[in-house]
Amino acid sequence: MESQLGLLEQSFNARYSIWVREVLNEMPDSFTITDPCISGHPIVFASRGFLKMSGYSKDEVIGKNGRVFQGPNTNRRSVMEIREAIRGERNIQISILNYRKDGTPFWMLFHMCPVFGKEDGRVIHFVAVQVPILRRKRFSGCGFGGNGVNLCEDGSGFREQVLGSCRREVCSDSVVELGHVLAIDVGLDSYDTELGFDDPCEASDVEKQKAASAMKDILSVLTHYSELTGRLVCGKRCCSAGRGLLSSSLTLSLGRIKQSFVLTDPHLPDMPIVYASDAFLKLTGYARHEVLGNNCRFLSGVDTDFSTIFQIKESIQTEQACTVRILNYRKDRSSFWNLLHISPVRNATGKIDYYVGVQIDESCMNQEKHGRSPKMMQRDAVGAVKVAIRSLSIGAGTSMS
């Protein structure tokens, strides 16, 4: 748990100055910021406006995936469109039904944009602005008839009119319900009611403009406070995407693999690390930005056996897998015996795209609860990485056909 909290903090501390949280908290808008590089694509920042709108506390939101705000009537197609936007690293603006902490549903306009690192074009964060859709819808039933009451979709300003009418129509076959608010506030559990929250609800032009304006302001703040650290971000990819730039789709897939491993790109000079798992960061003590772009030899130290390093180089040159026991060093310079397995990862066409290196701290083997051998653990991790990469390349090929 502590390591996860550390990753969440690093997500901001490593990229923006310490003042960015204070400035973001002063903004009146409802929005969240997520990090696709952390396993589970969790929320790393939630505005006060979002917490007020959703009813959750900060501690209940940070570290969670946005899916926790969905519910039984959330349109699956809308969810898939958001997921595809994440995979494609592009903007999206879509209406979706979400749920507050107390279970009440509400329609909102969801406006999401990726945030790119200026130096390499890598997606650093996703910003999602949420604007409650306040369009009032006319409905019949519960004795409203031609008078029809206009209800705000977020449930505000309705109780007196709805409850009064419903009390007069307790024998009616159709009674209006707003989620389960009536059941909670009035105890109308026995009513067979329906408001139609699962019906599509489109945002107005004013609401769309409000979301776009809020997004512009947030990106401006992030850009400014990244300049103070020298690790600039921008709302658009500022450099061409070349080798070594993993897509958000692949990053999210790799993030589900819980073991310690890195992915290196043999097509780039000095074969740098292009992905490091959360477990690797925990094992070595380094932050993600301290790892990416470096060759794996930065883990070596004064007592590392260079004949073992030569063995690794030789296996890479011959495009073969190898397993070695090597003395490595953490960020705090403490040493550990690393049971290292390196394997080429080929794409759907059979060409080597990456090399995966799986690390196991020898001293922790006695703590392994499932009784799996290092060989089995390494094989499982390599297999999962290969499936993620091959699935991606097959999917890309299909989409191009």
110 forms beta bridges with 94, 130
Kindly provide the residue ranges of all beta strands, DSSP E only, lying in 35-189, ordered along the sequence: 43-46, 92-99, 105-117, 123-132, 136-138, 150-152
- Per-residue model confidence as pLDDT tens digits over 297-321: 899 999 999 899 999 999 999 999 9
Residue 338: phi and psi, rounded to 5, are: -100, 115
Radius of gyration for the alpha carbons in the chain, expressed in angstroms and rounded: 26
Domains, the chain: 2-134+203-234 (3.30.450.20), 136-185 (no CATH), 248-400 (3.30.450.20)
Lowest mean pLDDT among 76-90, 160-174, 263-277, 313-327: 160-174
Three-state DSSP class for residue 218: helix
The rounded distance, in Å, linking the Cα atoms of 93 and 100 is 20
- The rounded distance, in Å, linking the Cα atoms of 201 and 346 is 45
Burial (CB < 10 A; 0-12, 13-18, 19+), residue 80, is: exposed
How confident is the model over 10-14, as a mean pLDDT?
Answer: 84
For 325-375, the DSSP string reads EEEEE-TTS-EEEEEEEEEEEE-TTS-EEEEEEEEEEGGGGGG-TT---HH
Q: What is the pLDDT of residue 261?
A: 96
47: left (phi over 0), alpha (psi -120 to 50) or beta: beta
pLDDT exceeding 70 applies to what percent of the chain? 76
Exposed/middle/buried for residue 146 (C-beta within 10 Å: 0-12, 13-18, 19+) = exposed
pLDDT, tens digit (0-9, with 9 covering 90-100), for 87-126: 878 899 999 999 999 999 999 999 999 999 887 788 889 9
Buried b (16+ CB within 10 A) or exposed e, 301-334: eeebeeebeebbeebbeeeeebebebbbbeeeee
Asked whether the CA dihedral 241, 112, 118, 267 is positive or negative, the reply is negative
So what's the pLDDT on residue 118?
A: 84
Q: Which amino acid is at 281?
A: L
For residue 338, pLDDT over 50 is answered with: yes
Contact yes or no for 343/321 (Cβ under 8 A): yes
**CA nearest neighbour of 176 among 133, 188, 185, 184:** 188
* Contact of 346 with 313, CB cutoff 8 Å: no
